[in-house]
Every structure is written in C-alpha cells, then in structure tokens.
C-alpha cells in the first residue's frame, strides 16, 4: 500500500486491518530520516516549521491514532528518496511534498497544538513570536 493510498484510507476512516502496520512502518521510516532531512533543507523550504510541528504532533502520545497516521504518511512522503518530483530539483522538488503536507494539515491540523509549534521553532532555531500584551 502506498503512502498516498494509506493517507486516503485514514482520511476516509477506513477500518482496514493493515493500517496499524502502515502507521508503524511510517513511524519507523520517519524516525530515522526525518530530522536529518528537515535540518538539511530547512533554509530552502518555507514550510519547514509546519513539517517540524507535524512531527512533534505525530510523536505526541495525546494525539489520536487517526491524526498520527495521516501526519506520519505525509512525513514519510517527505523523507521518501524517490517521489513525484525529486527533491534535488531546487525550485520544484518540494512542491509535491508541500501539497501532501497541506492536505494532511487540512485534515488533522487542529491537533497541532501551540506546544508542537514551540518545539518546532526550537528545533529550527526560529525565535518565538513577540507577545502582544494589548490583545
């Protein structure tokens, strides 16, 4: 089962018995490859903070399994060495990754909490946004 297929089945709420195995496979795949690849390309992709926040949300034990599965499928697509547009094509290589991530965030983005965004900013060494005390 491809990651795109598993993403769609999870989005549909499919009871496919292989989904836990797919989620586990995607978690194993991303655990070893995600952080190094993200840090390598962080300055070249504008959605690095969303990727990192998605990672922290997927690793959070409080995140529901369906949301974890969808996020891990998107993150696994990001780390795949051969995808629709190879990542070595600088200007276009990550557009497919951005599309897959945007789709995943559209489905389960509400599970990404401020703590996941703070963890992502720390990982990427992005300063915290200023706090507007008038609001």
**Does 18 have pLDDT greater than 60?**
no
Residues 6+ apart with CB under 8 A from 93: 85, 86, 87
The stretch 85-90 carries a mean pLDDT of 56
Residue 105: pLDDT over 80: yes
Model pLDDT, residue 1 = 44
- Lowest model confidence (mean pLDDT) among 2-6, 46-50, 51-55, 82-86: 2-6
What pLDDT, on the 0 to 100 scale, is given for residue 131?
A: 73
Residues 6+ apart with CB under 8 A from 102: 47
- Which pTM does this prediction carry? 0.74
pLDDT for res 122: 94
Pick from 132, 109, 129, 118: nearest CA to 49? 118
Q: What mean pLDDT do residues 117-134 have?
A: 84
Question: Pick the residue with more confidence: 48 or 41?
Answer: 48
For the chain, what are the domain ranges?
3-124
């Amino acid at each position: 089962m491809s990651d795109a297929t598993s993403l769609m089945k999870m989005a549909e709420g499919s009871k496919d018995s292989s989904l836990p195995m797919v989620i586990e496979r995607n978690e194993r795949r991303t655990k070893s490859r995600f952080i190094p690849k993200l840090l390598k390309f962080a300055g070249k992709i504008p959605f690095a903070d969303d990727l990192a926040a998605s990672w922290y949300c997927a690793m959070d034990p409080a995140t529901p399994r369906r949301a974890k599965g969808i996020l891990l499928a998107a993150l696994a697509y990001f780390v795949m060495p051969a995808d629709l547009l190879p990542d070595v094509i600088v200007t276009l290589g990550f557009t497919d990754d951005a599309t897959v991530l945007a789709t995943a965030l559209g489905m389960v983005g509400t599970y990404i909490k401020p703590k996941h965004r703070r963890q992502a900013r720390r990982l990427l060494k992005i300063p915290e946004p200023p706090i507007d005390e008038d609001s």
